[in-house]
Structure 1
Amino acid sequence: MADERDRIGVSYDVKPHAYDPDAHPELFDGVPARRVLAFVIDLVILAVPLILVWLFFLAIGIVTLGLGFSLFGLMPVITLIWAAYYYGTTLGGPRSATIGMRALDIEMRTWYGAPSYFVLAIVHAGLFWVSTSVLTPLILLVCFFNKRGRLLHDFLVGTVVINNPDRAGAPRPPEPGPGTV
């Protein structure tokens, strides 16, 4: 059987999960809350250029006495292209993090530890938007039922969001002992 696998170029090696929340809890400490804040930052970064394009189309529509208002039909396509570009270049870039994620010291990795890449980043973001649209934002509660804080779309594409090495390697504050305020 091994000879046949080698001949067709298929490998059945299963990679182990690179991030163990029991052995390295510092990788997952506070990640869900910082993911929410990173999302808000990224949403603003995505929205500002789209608002500027919308205002430009409005001005063109006024100047052309209404003929330019047909440009608003391009907004869904422009929005999709801009979002795919943003997520693909930031989340799929060398730091595997969007600008909001970088600001909050978190990054996305594959479940076996590899950095993200362009197509994975676009699929991950697309599944996020589809899952929260179709299944309501309540689907985000999934992160509270697993030790790694993974969301539905993380499970589907095989990713995990962790603290970056700088944050995870930082010393943890001492736990308050008995008799301390």
Structure 2
Amino acid sequence: MYTAALPDPQYQPEFYADIAPKRLMAWLIDFALILALTLIALPFTAFIGLFFLPFLYAAVGFVYRVMTISGGSATLGMRVMSIELRNAQGETLDLGSAFLHTLGYYLSFMMALVQLGSVVLMLTSERGQGLTDMVLGTVMVNRRL
């Protein structure tokens, strides 16, 4: 499944060093940014969005994640933490891959046990992959400088 284009965790561990805590910090940054964007979007819904705020947050977050990941293979939080997503060929994610990765993230997030399993995989797998990463063949790596 993985090609020579991806760094080997045995021979190039620096690409996978501290990925799990960096993912957590990136998630917190993205959470705050998505919340801010959701609050900015509220007046455009004539404040009706207050009645379905979790759904508005989810919709804004979905679009944010797909657009930022397809635009540079990382959300803004990931960029701050100097990490990025790569596909099995070592390439950045395109729009379709970013959509599928975000969809997988949302599906796993909707089921607590699946999300917990994904976090455990991030902490224990050789490449620090979550469930969605394993299904799609993507990896989170420290950005090449």
**TM bracket, shorter-chain basis:** 0.7 to 0.9
1:142 matched to 2:121: yes
Alignment of 1:87-166 (within 5 A): 87-93=65-71, 95-136=72-113, 137-139=115-117, 140-166=119-145
What is the CA distance between 1:84 and its match in structure 2?
A: 3.1
Q: Distance in 2 between matches of 1:57 and 1:44?
A: 20
Partner of 2:62: 84
> Any unmatched runs of 5+ in structure 2?
none
Q: 1:48 to 1:148 in 2, by over 3 A?
A: same
User: TM (normalized to structure 1)?
Assistant: 0.68
What is the CA distance between 1:151 and its match in structure 2?
A: 0.5
Q: 1:43 to 1:147 in 2, by over 3 A?
A: same
1:51 matched to 2:51: no
1:32 matched to 2:20: yes
Q: 1:122 to 1:83 in 2, by over 3 A?
A: farther
What is the CA distance between 1:101 and its match in structure 2?
A: 0.5
Alignment of 1:1-16 (within 5 A): 16=3
Q: 1:127 to 1:52 in 2, by over 3 A?
A: same
Structure having the higher helix fraction is 2
Q: Distance in 1 between matches of 2:66 and 2:126?
A: 27
| Secondary structure, aligned partner of 1:23 | coil
User: TM (normalized to structure 2)?
Assistant: 0.83
**Maintained 8 Å contact 1:88/1:118:** yes
1:20 matched to 2:8: yes
**Maintained 8 Å contact 2:38/2:57:** yes
**Maintained 8 Å contact 2:2/2:137:** no
Q: Distance in 2 between matches of 1:113 and 1:130?
A: 25
* RMSD (Å) for aligned C-alpha atoms: 2.6
The aligned amino acid for 1:37 is M
Q: Which has the larger radius of gyration?
A: 1
What is the CA distance between 1:15 and its match in structure 2?
A: 6.3
- Aligned pairs, how many? 142
Q: 1:115-146: CA deviations, max 9, x gaps?
A: 11112112212211221321434221111221
| Secondary structure, aligned partner of 1:107 | strand
